[in-house]
Amino acid sequence: MRSRIWLAWSSGKDSAWALHRLRQSGEYEVVGLLVTLSRPFRRVSMHGVREEVLELQAAAAGLPLIKVWLPYPCPNEAYEAAMREALEQAEASGITGVAFGDLFLQDVRQYREEQMRRTRLRPLFPLWQEGTAGLAREMVRTGLRAYVVCVNPARMDRRFAGACFDEALLAQLPDGVDPCGERGEFHTLVVDGPMFRHPVNVRRGETVERDGFVFTDFLPAERMEA
């Protein structure tokens, strides 16, 4: 019998690819996507993706969203309290583990493991220590489609905000920028791939600079600008 787990969902390519790998393994049954959102903005933390676009992703993946609401600004104590409540909910519903799309940042992994050490849940890292150059190209080659929704302008040019995550983008990345953005250079929004039943139809909105980052908004294709 497969272990029932949740997957920490960022809306981006790494968590999406982790879902694909977990399903391929046959060892786990992913039964929910755990996502943190800013309550005032109703957007994914760091990625800035709208709640309604998240809902479209979840429908395409055939999975429910487990939403963890965070204040803004969010002190670490508030984040940990909200996550602790979510993990308690997971345990109570028979979940045995939570998977993450982290690749090689050891301090991030240790932090997640420390959070979950207080529970009976097992932390899982299906992409851990994969070479990011090869992984990024495998994603593109296998049909993953994504857009860059957040850029750290201290690490790469803001012109990449809103760009397609594809071979052309990978070829243009400056030296020192990780192809998967693992050091926080950029974040993505996945709209299609082998982890989805159908594409997520979005259209590009405005690009703004906020809190030192450049964000490009994406809206459901049928929605008009607010």
Identify whether residues 118 and 142 lie together within a single domain.
no
Q: Which whole number is the average pLDDT over 69-77?
A: 94
DSSP 179: T
Residue 46: pLDDT band with limits 50, 70, 90: confident
Place of tokens 């709640």: 51
CB 108 within 8 A of CB 134: no
pLDDT at 226 over 70: no
Instruction: Tell me the average pLDDT across 4-14.
Output: 98
Q: Is residue 74 scored above 70 in pLDDT? A: yes
Q: How confident is the model at residue 59, as a pLDDT?
A: 98
* Closest by Cα among 184, 195, 183, 141 to 165: 141
The answer to whether 174 and 183 have CB atoms below 8 angstroms apart is no
118 band by pLDDT with thresholds 50, 70 and 90: confident
pLDDT of residue 223: 56
The whole-chain average pLDDT of the chain stands at 95
pLDDT at 130 over 70: yes
Cα gap 113→122, rounded to integer Å: 8
**In this structure, is residue 226 part of a structural domain?**
no
Residue 106 lies in a domain: yes
Report pLDDT for 224.
Answer: 46
Residue 68: is its pLDDT beyond 70? yes
Residues across the chain = 226
Q: Which of 133, 101, 120 is nearest to 13 (CA)?
A: 101
* pLDDT tens, position by position, 177-195: 999 999 999 999 999 999 9
Residues 163 and 73 in one domain: no
Count structural domains, the chain. Answer: 2
**C-alpha–C-alpha distance, residues 37 and 68, integer Å:** 6
Q: What percent of the chain has pLDDT over 70?
A: 98
Question: Does one domain contain both 12 and 100?
Answer: yes
Q: Could you tell me the CATH number of the domain that includes residue 80?
A: 3.40.50.620
Mean pLDDT along residues 83-104: 96
The helix (run of H) or strand (run of E) holding residue 191 is strand 186-192
Residue 211 lies in a domain: yes
Residues in Cβ contact with 171 at an 8 Å cutoff, skipping those fewer than 6 apart: none
Q: Is residue 91 part of a domain?
A: yes
Nearest to 34 by CA among 89, 75, 114, 104: 89
Q: What range does the domain containing 100 cover?
A: 3-124
